Structure 1
């Protein structure tokens, strides 16, 4: 599956033609020109232009040089909002600048993209389940809220960038997480199968497609496994995790759908002997 096969993924549209292309080009040129390469560990020796080079922005944002070059040139490309947000972080854009950037690329703003709101009562319930690990995860596998036991026994999600705080992304992009999952390949295939099931049924497909397209850009392992088309919902099961002390722990887990939320699950773990 190529990046372009997720048909509803946003494509950089040419509104007002060359004017839009010029605006995007100048915006990105000026912002990368403001940056100090030494802040990112790059040498300024033999550097003919101010700021970061295109290939340096691409490297820091985890996108290909070709893709970033095409983006800067204003060409029609298919690219994920996650990649646009990472580029914005590299360029140190303010919230208003990021909103402008997204609107220029996509023709609209993603700033308030259907955020899931958690009720205080649900947060209190998750906290009260401690010492059992419990967390809320959306259908596209974004991690939305968790208790202290989850942080200590499953994974400290606060240690990763909020754009990568997603179970499927962690499975493929986070080396620490991968090392803590015995039988990683089978676990990864199962995670993809569950993700694909909910993706097919969801009425909010763009939320899933930002994850898919970001992973297609960043993980060859995901590209290969995504081609297998495994489908299987996972509402309960067993999982083994190597804890932070190096001990192998075995859990049973259950996913429950809160009555007030149609697109998220409360997931809790119970340790098995």
Structure 2
């Protein structure tokens, strides 16, 4: 018997392949269009099969989620034919070769990440889990983003904060970009954790409560940002531009330390210094137990 998670995964595989096929035109793929009048916005199935070097029947069954044990050469052929990014390739691989990790409901923060968090003085930093839950943070992260300790563990989640918390939304100068990034991150995690009921419930909740989330989720954008730059509008220090880096354990764990920094000598660095001085006694929180105080 096929379980619900496998059926959901097959449906997602079908939608993802159709979506990516629709965004490519024959001219972009370097082939002459097959046939006459076109009814599809992008490549036809037979055109994609031709580009990938496989039979049309095989591709149709693959797009319908009816193929098991997809080989690495087939994955690579689809990646090239669809012009997938590295994140999209990893996402496709997780859909056809799902992992069987059992997600932990409320994971303990890895000791090594906590030590790094303790060392992140003068910069906002936090530890995030695969569901976008903020698991630990320092005082400057609370000063920049929101008072994490004042939120319930359930609401201490970036996806809920970005789409349902107006005060957090107002901090991001380009809220649309942050929202799209968050959805793209959850897409990656949903494929990596196909049996995660809590993650599925989070996606369902946000799809109901946020029109933006529902629209962007349907677009099937996939990206796992490891670094980047964000602009903030802070009520106390005004506009800041900060660069972020995501540090993940080498063993592929589901926890990530996110650190924001400012260019040396820039106005944003001075703004961070002011926030650090004003909030020197802010709490450092950890999901496992009550938030600890006075570590920044």
**Shared fold (TM-score greater than 0.5)?**
yes
Q: Distance in 2 between matches of 1:218 and 1:255?
A: 28
For residues 190-220 of structure 1, give each alpha carbon's deviation from its aligned partner in whole angstroms, at most 9, with x where no partner exists: 2211221222123553232121122123222
Q: Who is 2:157 aligned against?
A: 166
Q: Who is 2:216 aligned against?
A: 225
For residues 106-135 of structure 1, give each alpha carbon's deviation from its aligned partner in whole angstroms, at most 9, with x where no partner exists: xxxxxx953211244432320221211111
Structure 1 residue 5: deviation in Å? 10
Structure 1 residue 248: deviation in Å? 0.7
Q: Distance in 2 between matches of 1:7 and 1:131?
A: 47
Does residue 205 (structure 1) correspond to residue 193 (structure 2)? The answer is: no
Q: Who is 2:124 aligned against?
A: 133
For residues 31-67 of structure 1, give each alpha carbon's deviation from its aligned partner in whole angstroms, at most 9, with x where no partner exists: xxxxxxxxxxxxxxxxxxxxxxxxxxxxxxxxxxxxx
- Figure out how many residues of one structure are paired with residues of the other and give that number: 168
Q: Distance in 2 between matches of 1:134 and 1:126?
A: 7
Q: Distance in 2 between matches of 1:219 and 1:123?
A: 33
Moved more, 198-207 or 235-244: 198-207
Does residue 241 (structure 1) correspond to residue 232 (structure 2)? The answer is: yes
Q: Higher Cα Rg: structure 1 or 2?
A: 2
Structure 1 residue 158: deviation in Å? 1.8
TM superposition score normalised by structure 2: 0.51
Q: Distance in 2 between matches of 1:115 and 1:220?
A: 28
Q: Who is 2:20 aligned against?
A: none
Could you tell me whether the CA contact under 8 Å between 2:145 and 2:171 is conserved in 1?
Answer: no
Could you tell me whether the CA contact under 8 Å between 2:247 and 2:257 is conserved in 1?
Answer: yes
Could you tell me whether the CA contact under 8 Å between 2:246 and 2:258 is conserved in 1?
Answer: yes
Does residue 144 (structure 1) correspond to residue 135 (structure 2)? The answer is: yes
CA RMSD of aligned residues (A): 2.7
Query: Is the alpha carbon distance of 1:113 and 1:120 closer, same or farther for their aligned partners in structure 2, counting shifts above 3 Å?
Result: closer
Q: Who is 2:180 aligned against?
A: 189
Query: Is the alpha carbon distance of 1:266 and 1:203 closer, same or farther for their aligned partners in structure 2, counting shifts above 3 Å?
Result: farther
Structure 1 residue 164: deviation in Å? 1.4
Does residue 122 (structure 1) correspond to residue 118 (structure 2)? The answer is: no
4+ residue segments displaced more than 6 Å: 4-8
Q: Secondary structure of the residue that 1:164 maps to in structure 2?
A: coil
For residues 212-257 of structure 1, give each alpha carbon's deviation from its aligned partner in whole angstroms, at most 9, with x where no partner exists: 1221232222222221111111111011111231501011101011
Q: Which runs of 5+ in 2 are unaligned?
A: 9-102, 267-296
Could you tell me whether the CA contact under 8 Å between 2:122 and 2:140 is conserved in 1?
Answer: yes
Could you tell me whether the CA contact under 8 Å between 2:128 and 2:258 is conserved in 1?
Answer: yes
Q: Distance in 2 between matches of 1:229 and 1:246?
A: 36
Q: Secondary structure of the residue that 1:117 maps to in structure 2?
A: coil
Could you tell me whether the CA contact under 8 Å between 2:228 and 2:243 is conserved in 1?
Answer: yes
Could you tell me whether the CA contact under 8 Å between 1:255 and 1:268 is conserved in 2?
Answer: yes
Q: Superposition pairs for residues 1-273 of structure 1, below 5 Å?
A: 114-202=105-193, 204-245=195-236, 247-259=238-250, 262-272=253-263, 273=266
